[in-house]
Amino acid sequence: MYKDGKWAKEIIALQKSNGSWGFFHALSEPNKNPITTEQALRRLEILGYGIDDDCIAMAVEYMDNSLRDKKQIPDRREKLHDWDIFTDLMLSTWIRRFTNGNDTANRIVRKWAALISTAFTNGEYNHAAYVSAYQNTFAMKPNGGRLVDFVSFYQVSLIADCLDEQTETAVFDYILSHREGIYYLSSGPMTILPERFSSKQTSRYLAAMELMATYRSSKHKLQFVVEWLHQNRDDNGNWDIGATSKDMIYFPLSDDWRKKEARISDCTYRVQRFLDKVI
């Protein structure tokens, strides 16, 4: 319902002929490039765009070509990561956000699913087993702390439908109680609810829960979130996460938030979409 709004039109107008928006992950030159490819894809996905839309199809083709080394993304190689591993992880994750039919991305998915499954062989996380599996999978010593811990938006998104049921349950519990939350999305254990519902914190918490809702385990393990959301409905059965949640990523969805009704409509739409997945 938000695909024809001004936010989507502005983003699509900035898309380059190769399907990208310039830099992929880090915005190195904001004066020349107002948005990254990753930011554009995240925003368009939230606004309702999918693989059947030309802008997304073009972007997926660009990412597939980059993944198969036909092209190189223009980002500066970050020293905190093993950049080649991290690039493959980013690209395959965003391809899979829109389609699970890409063979190149699926090969990377299988690597990460097997790696993480090895770390949970005995039903709980074994860090030594994870590091060993990482070394064997990528034929190298782990380089970059961010990749050693898999509780990050990319890995959590990538493996959502690729684990057997027993492993998924153990992985889900580990992620949910992870003391630092999901990197790039939230901070702190997700078993702890935000103190104030009307806050930017709630929007970020909901983003993490929206990701967790892609797991089968979510239907019975996220009922505490369902109860919390129902407790925070207003007298008309709607939700208002507040004006501070406007971050130009998850909100706004409507063209204009000058009217409170538009904000409430956006918040209610988002919460209801989450509930539809977990109830």
Domain range list for the chain:
1-76, 97-183, 193-279
What span, in angstroms and rounded, lies between the C-alpha atoms of 232 and 184? 26
* Residue 3: closest CA among 39, 43, 30: 43
**Residue tagged 């899979």 (tokens):** 96
Say what the pLDDT of residue 30 is: 62
pTM: 0.94
Instruction: Render each residue's pLDDT in the chain as its tens digit; 279 residues.
Output: 899 999 999 999 999 999 999 999 977 666 667 899 999 999 999 999 999 999 999 999 999 999 998 788 998 887 766 888 899 999 999 999 999 999 999 999 999 999 999 999 999 999 999 989 998 898 765 454 445 689 999 999 999 999 999 999 999 999 999 999 999 998 899 999 999 999 999 999 999 999 999 999 999 999 999 999 999 999 999 999 999 999 999 999 999 999 999 999 999 999 999 999 999
Say what the pLDDT of residue 144 is: 45
What span, in angstroms and rounded, lies between the C-alpha atoms of 7 and 128? 45
Provide φ and ψ at 15, rounded to 5°: -65, 135
Q: Residue 139, class by beta-carbon neighbours within 10 Å (0-12 exposed, 13-18 middle, 19+ buried)?
A: exposed
Provide φ and ψ at 6, rounded to 5°: -70, -30
CA 229 from centre of chain: 21
